[in-house]
A and B are shown apart, each in its own frame.
Chain A
Amino acid sequence: MSLLDLLLLLSLLTTLYLYAFGNHRNAGHLGMVVYAVATGLVIAMAGPLADGTGAVGSTFAPVMLGHVLSWSMDGLGWFFALLTTGAAFFASWYMSGEWNAEQPNKRIQHGTLALNVFCMLLLLSSGDLLSLFIGWEFVSWAAFLMMTQLGSHAARAAFRYMLYALAGAMAVFAAILIVKAQIGSFAFADLRAAVPALSDGLKWLLFGLFGLGFGVKMAIVPFHLWQAPAYSFTPGASSAFLNAVSARMGLFAILLVLGKLIGFATLSDLALPLIPMDAKTLLMWVAAITMVVPTFIALMQTDARMLLTWHGIGQGGYMLLGVLVATPLGTAAGLMHVLNYASYQMALVLAVFAVIHRTGTADLDELGGLIKRMPFTYLALLMGIIGLAGLPPMNGFVSKWMIYKSLLDTQQPLLLIAAFVGTLGTILSVYKLIHNIFLGQLRAEHQKVGEAPGSMLAPMLILAGIGFATGFFPGLALGVVDVAQAALGVELLPHGLGGVYLATGSLNMIWVVGIMIGAIGFGAFVFYVIGNRRYGVHQFDNYAGGHFLSADIRYHFSHEFYPGLARLIGPWYRGSVVNMENGLMIGLKTAGDLWHGAFRIAYTPFYLLVALAIGLWWAGLDGGF
């Protein structure tokens, strides 16, 4: 029994146990223990994988219809597995205490989390295309179960997700079957070996189908509409888990199939007919659009969860763009961004759900001034948004810097500008998030609100702490990234504890953060010690234009944040993608109505006659009458 067997068995048994007994008070703690053990198992697997060629196999290899299904985890899967079990650990921690006590559907929450972890591990360790597809379907349906648990809005969003995911899965299925028909095998190695001999048309087809299928899961534009509502209406820690990990499965599959098996180099040889662009550049531009458009849509959201999940879509674009640059720096940047994003996005989502837990709302127009009531939640959220915006000293800065740098090094100024524009949108919108929740006027109805309980604070603060630590010492994360990068066959990036060493300019975060802390310390010294005397005022003790303002006067500017910008980008928001989706659905309904009507009204033998006439005519034609 290999370590992988042990890991899969452990998570399968956990799933079964939690589905049966998840209502127990200690289910969350049990989950924590299991996911900690699972993380340990994953870490224990690192040894043979580090050189990039090793893999931990599974002894479970059923033969189905003559195809041997195999599971084995290489460095790439390992990287994402570590992410998965780690995220599950924090999610379970969050669910273990007060949150757990108040949820009506504990069993489902714990069970679906465990199920998702199991399915993801299965996908991440798939050893051939067929097991990859099976894992892919498992992950899709497990996520559907997790999303649909609250019913009503959540069920609708999950249903929409399911349609997208299934359409994507069918594209993947078609691609896999085409591969099988062409090369006669589902094995990864055979596909890799056969790619150079495939015709350009076939490569385009495979690129399109795989890209579409995996891209849907990653929510790349224009297949992104499902993601924000589906993730937002999922409760608490489940939502954080989905945000951190779920869409990354799409990135994993793109890296595995397009990056490792077909090869990004092959894609850049596929030229488009009329415009000077190849398949890889096309995908990079899709990633760039994914970076920019959802970020500005996020700006328009008034629900804190939706704001974050829309950002999640945009951040996926950064990761995809990074790995598509395909230089050592770009790949490392994209992969590191996966880890970084998971840490701060989870912290952010958990913080927002802590606010919902205390105040009962995520509506950014209904909140404000909670900084004194929930200071630690504020701290977690602050650190999170700094990471999300990609500013020092958090880890988001490191990976984004590396992405910018890799684009610069490969001389792609337009994409670089797109990345900057995306970051600009992020900075604008995360300010909206923290301002509307924590700053400004406290609402009268939130006067009694207390700090989130420890079981919820601890995971988000630790996650934010991880974000800071890997920002201060990026080497910690880059060591993990190396394993995946080696498995992808990309040259390793030289790095140390403080950052990366490059011929064209290195980054040492210890210096950056050191100087920053020094400067802030100096500023604080000036402000607090040398400066004028300060007066502490109560939150309600406010003045505007010389007038005293009481709590019942609304002056907290939260409604219609960024009105000018909103007018500018409003048309995007009512964008054509939504119309496209609507149009597709209307077309489908119309076609359905037509057929349905045809079955209902017509007098039956008529069709028979028509078919007979056409058939006889065709038979005569075919037979050469």
Chain B
Amino acid sequence: MTDAMLLAEALGDVLYTGAIGLILLGLYAMVVPRHLVRIVLGLLLVQSGVNLFLVAVGYRPEAAAPILLGGQAIGPVVDPLPQALVLTAIVIGVGVLALALALVVRVKDVHGTLDSREVAERMAAETGDSRLMPETAPGRGAAVPAREMLEDRS
């Protein structure tokens, strides 16, 4: 086994490790921080990690890029399919990311904050009350017959 092959195999391992590392980093960023833009960036990291992983799946040591000229294979080539998939995935990822950022902007507009927990609290406050019942003023009539239904012990 040549040094070059060893190097190439090591490169494969590095690729996998890097991909998993990116995913874990992204997951951390999605779960722990509360800033919405950071969370979106975490998503970006996860996507990049997954894409890298996908490319790594198609990687072969000492193989050339899969560019075939005149239908002639010139020695081993890396698997071209994952690369095609990754291209698609990247495009989708960019689209989703753009949409996410657009929504972040709207959320900042309407809720006035980028803190995910605050947004959640505001949403709960908004949807928890009567949203479309203009006839009944909120907070009036503290009667709770539905609960009593289950508590009646005659």
- By a beta-carbon cutoff of 8 Å, the part of chain A in contact with chain B is 153, 155-157, 159-160, 229, 578, 581-582, 585, 589, 600-601, 603, 605-606, 609
Contact = CB atoms under 8 A, between A and B. Distances in A.
A159 B27 contact: no
Contacts, number: 31
Contact of B154 (A157, A585, A603, A606): A157
Contacts of A578: 153
B135 interface: no
B116 A603 contact: yes
A582 B150 CA distance: 9
Given A600-B124, A603-B116, A156 B27 contact: no
A603 B124 contact: no
B154 A605 contact: no
A157 B154 CA distance: 8
A606 B120 CA distance: 15
A436 to B, nearest CB: 20
Nearest to B46: A605
A603 B119 CA distance: 11
Nearest to A612: B27
Contacts of B152: 153, 156-157, 160
Contacts of A159: 149-150
B31 A603 contact: yes
Contacts of B45: none
Interface string B94-134: 00000000000000000000001100100010000000000
Contacts of A229: 154
B149 A156 contact: yes
Contacts of B153: 578, 581-582
A341 B152 CA distance: 29
Contact of B148 (A156, A581, A605): A156
A585 B150 contact: yes
Interface of B is mostly: helix
A582 B152 CA distance: 10
Nearest to A229: B154
Given A156-B152, A601-B120, 9 more contacts: A156-B148, A156-B154, A159-B149, A160-B152, A585-B151, A600-B124, A603-B116, A609-B27, A609-B31
A605 B31 contact: yes
A414 B108 CA distance: 77
B27 A605 contact: yes
Contacts of A155: 149
B22 to A, nearest CB: 15
B137 to A, nearest CB: 25
A160 B152 CA distance: 9
25 contacts: A153-B152, A153-B154, A155-B149, A156-B148, A156-B149, A156-B152, A156-B154, A157-B152, A157-B154, A159-B149, A159-B150, A160-B152, A229-B154, A578-B153, A581-B153, A582-B153, A585-B151, A589-B150, A600-B124, A603-B116, A603-B117, A605-B27, A605-B30, A605-B31, A606-B31
Nearest to B27: A609
Nearest to B128: A600
B130 to A, nearest CB: 18
A492 to B, nearest CB: 44
A607 to B, nearest CB: 10
Contacts of A609: 27, 31
Contacts of A153: 152, 154
A145 B132 CA distance: 31
Contacts of A156: 148-149, 152, 154
A326 to B, nearest CB: 36
A398 B146 CA distance: 47
A146 B51 CA distance: 64
A155 B149 CA distance: 8
Nearest to B39: A605
5 nearest interchain CB pairs? A229-B154, A156-B152, A605-B30, A606-B31, A159-B149
Contacts of B151: 585
Contacts of A605: 27, 30-31
A63 B148 CA distance: 43
A578 B151 CA distance: 11
A159 B152 CA distance: 10
Contacts of A157: 152, 154
Nearest to A159: B149
A316 to B, nearest CB: 20
A603 B33 CA distance: 10
Contacts of A160: 152
A229 B149 CA distance: 13
Contacts of A606: 31
A155 B117 CA distance: 41
A605 B154 CA distance: 46
Contacts of B120: 601, 603
A153 B27 CA distance: 53
Give the residue among A229, A578, A601, A605 with the most B Cβ atoms within 10 A.
Answer: A605
A62 B116 CA distance: 57
A615 B23 CA distance: 17
A155 B151 CA distance: 13
A603 B116 CA distance: 9
A606 B27 CA distance: 9
A581 B148 CA distance: 14
A605 B43 CA distance: 11
B77 to A, nearest CB: 32
A300 to B, nearest CB: 13
A165 to B, nearest CB: 15
Contacts of B27: 605, 609
Nearest to B117: A603
